[in-house]
Chain A
Amino acid sequence: MSGRYLGQRVLQALGTIVAIVLLNFLLFRLMPGSPERILLRNPNLSPQVVEATRARWGLDKPLLPDQLVAYIGSTVQGDFGYSFKFRGQSVTSVIADRIGPTLLLVGLGELISAIAGIAIGAYAGWRRGGLVDRVGSGASLVLYSMPYFVIGMPLIVIFAAGLGWFPTSGMTSVGGGDRPFPANLIDLARHLALPLATVSLGLIGQYSILMRSAIIETRSEDYITTARAKGLRDGRVLRAHAFPNAMLPMVTLIAINLGYVIGGAITAEIVFSWPGLGTLTITALSARDYPVLQGIFLLVAVSVVLANLAADIIYGILDPRVRG
């Protein structure tokens, strides 16, 4: 990969992040309901108190440049202010508490669905019209079109409520996390099973459908005929020749999806009351907890940009033609 290519991508990513920070600043200042009213929650405040509060938070200063400068200054330091809803807690700590569960659930779900989806899609496309293709592609399409709660509800009804194999919600039983190893891990795994299955099933269709069409496209390339002419085994033609080329479009999809992991899988988290960023987003939305929303928005946007950058770099490594 040439330094030029890399430099261009990094600059582009930095530019996008700056734009996001500015947008984040403006967007939340255009929203209805002034922060001090929500925060103080008292319609009978005297104008003096309101003024004093506004001054304390710097809201009496003009938007430009004072508020913007202050905003950028604290953003760079990782200070996003305090949550309205969770009083006394900084936005950073509210979000930090929820990142772990989301990364665990959605990150693992992405990993499982990407690996399984790519394997199924590759095989289905290679043996187009075969059993795996007919069953796998039908199922993929159905799963792809189903929202998480449609997948999650039957799982709860059957495996949690019916068979009682797994708990219905949450991440730990009461006191479960405090039990000695390995009981605490087992407790976590039992809570994780159904939401993880939901997220993985929900994401698998997208990967297998795209991989299938990528493989079908590569299958008719001349270099595949060359590989077959060489008398290589079918499996080797697929693994060494078709697969690497078909993976090129997949890299971008996987990386972008990984960027969104941080935002959580909102409906899946809600269905299973999973204490992740998805449920936090809903809580913050209904409480008009602007600082928290702003923090989540910034986090998601930046991770999507970084994931895109990673996609470009990996693409550059995999495809010699873009290294230039």
Chain B
Amino acid sequence: MSEPMGEPAIEPALTPPLTPGQIRGRRQWPLPKQADPAAPLLQVRNLQTYFKLGSGWVKAVDDVSFGLTDGEALGLVGESGCGKTTTALSLVRLLPTNGRIRGGSVELFGIDLVAKSDLALQRYRWREISIIFQGAMNALNPVIQVRRQIAEPIRYRLGQSEAASQKRAEELLDLVGIPSRRLGAYPHELSGGMRQRAMIAMALACDPAIVIGDEPTTALDAMVQAQILQLLEQLRRELGLSLILITHDLSVVAETCDRVLVMYAGRVAEEGPVARVFTEPRHPYTRKLLGAFPNIRSDRRTLETIPGEPPNLLNPPPGCRFAPRCPQVMPVCTEVVPPEAVFADGVRVACHLYETPVHETPA
């Protein structure tokens, strides 16, 4: 496979972020008919997504709430299996056949997508919310040329002519830095980095409001990983995208995201501005997670591991799901689900250590 010498370099983004008003003004397509122009871009409330397994339900996403504003980048982090992918797929109901949204709402421009029929929901897929899947090798169809796969949503969702779709696909490939001589390539003929770029081009095809990246850079080497993230960041600023970035890599969140949502065993542990959460983690799990992460900037040598395993989501512990592993566990923790405490600096924490609903920022 002939990979060009290094991926094309991208200058660090200099464009200042657009304001929400500018972003809505830049939309190429009108807002959906039922949209409330004053409503926030995305508001997820008490989302519950379960998987049917044998005679029970895997409570993969349980009572998850968060919001996303125009042009914002939200990082979604947590151990493997904590429900990051399920949360993301629930937004446009792309769940495996045994998955069900059991409750809650997903409001996009104030329109509840959970209440929509499958057919009605199709209108929102890709045109409003698109997804960059992990492992573009499997997420791209192996027998269709990459350019055709990018042109497909333009042709069939935006109803443009075949010629116009192909032309737009070429522009998009150019935008993400794929050389024009690779236009006719099939997925297996591209390198991992190039495939992921093609995946990004495809996600941008219908000019969506929200792009979800589900571990878009895992399985890529560090250099390529950095380039892809830089590309995403640049596109976000230039096109006014809102980004939900799922990752295991906390340094990626630190560098690219405005806010971070820490999940544990299907629930939100802590959520808030990245600068606040990373400098002053309040939930014992967030502290462990940051401790477990090797920070090259600090002189920490030993990697702190979190003892124990996440609970079985078929039958999770009744109170706080982190209780079996929590160093600060209290009697109340094993019985009562911790309510959310909201801090003045915009951080939310679900933990019994912070009892009153609104807290001053701890000194």
Contacts and interface: CB of A to CB of B under 8 A. Distances in A.
A321 interface: yes
A306 B127 CA distance: 48
B262 interface: no
B51 to A, nearest CB: 14
A147 interface: no
A83 B143 CA distance: 50
B194 to A, nearest CB: 15
Contacts of A240: 144, 152
B196 interface: no
A9 interface: no
A231 B139 contact: no
Contacts, number: 72
B143 A225 contact: no
Chain A interface residue bracket vs B: 20 to 34
Interface in A268-324: 318-321
B92 A229 contact: yes
Interface string A192-235: 00000000000000000000000000000111011111111100
B131 A320 contact: no
A321 B139 contact: no
Contact of A230 (B126, B135, B188, B189): B126
Contacts of A227: 141
Interface string A234-257: 001000110011001000000000
A97 B40 CA distance: 79
A222 B125 contact: no
A319 B141 CA distance: 11
A156 B347 CA distance: 80
B125 A229 contact: yes
Nearest to A241: B141
B123 A231 contact: yes
Contact of B152 (A221, A225, A230): A230
B139 A223 contact: yes
Contacts of B240: none
A230 B143 contact: no
A127 to B, nearest CB: 11
Contacts of A248: 143
Contacts of A228: 94, 125
A231 B157 contact: yes
A226 B139 contact: yes
Contacts of B153: 230-232
A321 B137 CA distance: 12
Name which of A225, A226, A318, A319 has the most chain B CB atoms within 10 A of its CB.
Answer: A226
15 contacts: A222-B133, A222-B135, A223-B142, A225-B139, A226-B131, A226-B133, A226-B139, A226-B141, A229-B92, A232-B157, A240-B144, A245-B142, A245-B143, A319-B142, A321-B186
- The list of the 3 closest CB pairs from A to B, nearest first, reads A231-B125, A222-B138, A320-B186
